[in-house]
Amino acid sequence: MITSGFPFLRPRRLRRNENIRRLVRENRINHDDLIYPIFVRYGENVVEEVPSMPGVFRYSVDKVADAVKEVRDLGIPAVIIFGIPEHKDEVGSDTWSDEGIVQKTLRVLKKEVPEMYLITDVCFCEYTSHGHCGVLHDHEVDNDATLENLQKQVVSHAQNGADMVAPSGMMDGMVRSIRIALDDAGFSHIPIMAYSAKFASAFYGPFRDAAESAPSFGDRRSYQMDPANSREALKEVLMDVQEGADVVMVKPALTYLDIITKVKENTLLPVCAYNVSGEYSMVKAAGKLGWIDEKKVMLESLISMKRAGADIIITYFAKEVAEMINRGEV
């Protein structure tokens, strides 16, 4: 016979209906968590869907403001810009040209959508003829030569209206070099969001389709991190903190939730998780086939990043999530 009051502790009391579940919910997704990636390419009157990323588009400069206005109107505070130039060369010189694709985009967006916070991805893979993230020497990326070009790139971005720069190439010393360049050019107020723990992941495939950035030979394992390493990830993050990063990032997100937690527990800086293209496309593909409830899996994935410790999430789902929030479905 079960006696009165047994069991005494009943966690189910706080799960009984949606109202009480809402009251005790520990983590939530809201507009202020989200950054939406924007792909901008050369040409005119271009709005083209990325084949491997349903719902994600590449825009020409003359069309990008309309796309960003849509993001703004949904309540999302920031976008991160990825450029696809018309001409590529060995060093990616489009990245520091005033007529570069990102620079043109920044000027248009600052004029047309001045309230949007503009972050620029700072790298070279989309801009080099070989598809690697820096200057090559004997088929290897020359770290220190690449740092000099990164300095030119970030100053040009800042001069054309970037609110934040986000170096993603995993070069040693990149944060310190960028901080020095920005400060010396009079941009000490521009923050750096470092791709601090960026792993050499198989989940980047659709992005390379979107950004036309696949390497022409080899891979990026000599500069991006080994997926097997967690202590090294924390080392990379703490180095970037010491060098002057303002925000640190873990990329990818879903298979690196343990890394997000380690970073959150060991730094006082805001932590960003990049919900990358492969993570997005897998959900979209399985949802299209009817194998999963796409919206529920999307939300569960994003809340797992928050639960792990992410303060900010870069995600291709940002517009869909914002629409759900606006409808009161989240």
- Separation between Cα atoms, residue 320 and residue 34, nearest integer Å: 11
Candidates 63, 88, 104, 251; catalytic one: 251
- Separation between Cα atoms, residue 41 and residue 128, nearest integer Å: 15
Has 251 been annotated as catalytic?
yes
Candidates 198, 264, 306, 319; catalytic one: 198
Has 198 been annotated as catalytic?
yes
Neighbours of 74 (CB within 10 A): 18
Q: Are 111 and 67 in contact (CB under 8 A)?
A: no
How many alpha carbons lie under 13 Å from residue 43 in its C-beta half-sphere? 13
- Separation between Cα atoms, residue 128 and residue 36, nearest integer Å: 24
Residue type, 251: K
Helix axes 318-326, 294-308, angle to 10 degrees: 100
Concatenating the DSSP letter of every residue in 237-290 gives HHHHHHHT-SEEEEES-GGGHHHHHHHHHH-SS-EEEEE-HHHHHHHHHHHHTT
What are 195's two structure tokens?
């791709």
What are 93's two structure tokens?
């010189």
Concatenating the DSSP letter of every residue in 143-189 gives HHHHHHHHHHHHHHHHHTT-SEEEE-S--TTHHHHHHHHHHHTT-TT
What are 132's two structure tokens?
């690697």
Catalytic residue list:
198, 251
